């Protein structure tokens, strides 16, 4: 079932990406030229952004500062902070608290983390919209950020050539627009995309995280089978005329999947923007990062946009939103930290 939350508007979006990259040439030296070209041809990814010593909070702070400066937003006006991440700076305290301190936000602030992956951006928008609708907040920052490269097996070409690091920041505030939402979660698919934690007691009492595991075939099957049906059902329930949807803002998994989803949705490929070539799959940051990368054309500043994130969970999050009045800010590059 879908729902709508009115009285909320999206004010601005920003993004931050690490300066450091790994290119096809770098990967060819590790995995062989032929294999790397094969993967790149299907994914449309030619380099990925790598955080190295940068953390999730480092990247999110850079994105938030770009938003404050470019959109002329007073940090003291922020009432809520939602940080969507799978790679927090620490298990305790929440990285949202660390980010709030880094940004100098006021202490009278509702701040919390959401542990979600590729559908996480929609979940973050949902949480922010509810905070505003309930009257507890007037302005809420939704930050997404992951340094997922730190979880990748260096010998697994199927993930190393695909996943990149990034962060984004979206400002929601009280306004005259409405956002629609729908969600689907199937925990039975957890085995296909996961990072396990080991709490086994030891002398050092350290929690150990396994590397990211992905069964690409199963995740692909889930996306192609479930996502188009979920989007079509959402559009019907929201009473939206499909002909009036200018763009479908889908999770930027890879070019092959996005092209195939456009075909399954029965829409022109031009209605499904793709921006993965120089950043890779950035998980919950992929949708807002794609939007920011298209800031110059401003073609996305329209009503009746459908956003859909899908993946780890396995889960789907769908939103009906408007960027008509949003300030879209070019991604900033974050310099590498010295060794």
Cα distance between the two ends of the chain? 50
Count other C-beta atoms under 10 Å from residue 326's C-beta: 22
Q: Which residues are catalytic?
A: 118, 251, 281
Q: Which residues contact 298 (CB under 8 A, 6 or more apart)?
A: 328
Cβ-contact 283, 122 below 8 angstroms? no
Residue 332 CA, distance from chain mean position: 16
Q: What is the residue whose two structure tokens read 């062989």? A: 32
CA 170/CA 161 separation, integer angstroms: 27
């Amino acid at each position: 079932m879908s729902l709508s939350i009115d009285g909320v508007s999206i004010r601005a979006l920003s993004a931050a990406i690490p300066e450091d990259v790994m290119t096809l040439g770098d990967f060819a030296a590790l995995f062989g030229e032929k294999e790397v070209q094969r993967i790149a041809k299907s994914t449309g990814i030619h380099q990925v952004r790598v955080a190295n010593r940068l953390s999730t909070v480092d990247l999110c702070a850079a994105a938030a500062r770009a938003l404050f400066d470019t959109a002329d937003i007073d940090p003291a006006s922020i009432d809520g902070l939602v940080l969507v991440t799978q790679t927090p700076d620490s298990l305790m305290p929440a990285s949202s608290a660390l980010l709030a301190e880094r940004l100098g936000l006021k202490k009278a602030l509702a701040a919390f983390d959401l542990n979600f992956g590729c559908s996480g951006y929609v979940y973050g928008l949902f949480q922010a919209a509810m905070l505003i609708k309930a009257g507890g907040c007037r302005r809420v920052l939704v930050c997404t950020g992951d340094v997922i490269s730190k979880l990748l097996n260096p010998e697994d070409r199927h993930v190393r050539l695909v996943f990149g690091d990034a962060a984004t920041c979206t400002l929601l505030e009280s306004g005259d627009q409405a956002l629609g939402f729908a969600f689907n979660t199937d925990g039975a698919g957890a085995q296909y995309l996961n990072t396990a934690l080991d709490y086994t007691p030891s002398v050092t009492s350290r929690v150990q995280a396994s590397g990211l595991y992905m069964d690409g075939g199963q995740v692909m099957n889930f996306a192609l089978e479930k996502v188009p049906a979920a989007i079509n059902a959402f559009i019907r329930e929201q009473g939206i005329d499909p002909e009036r949807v200018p763009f479908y803002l889908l999770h930027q998994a890879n070019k092959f999947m996005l092209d195939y989803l456009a075909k399954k949705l029965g829409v022109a490929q031009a209605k499904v923007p793709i921006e993965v070539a120089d950043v890779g799959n950035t998980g919950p940051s992929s949708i807002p990062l794609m939007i920011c990368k298209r800031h110059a054309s401003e073609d996305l500043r329209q009503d009746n946009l459908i956003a859909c994130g899908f993946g780890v969970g396995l889960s789907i999050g769908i939103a009906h939103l408007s960027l008509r009045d949003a300030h879209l800010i070019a991604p900033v590059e974050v310099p590498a930290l010295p060794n």
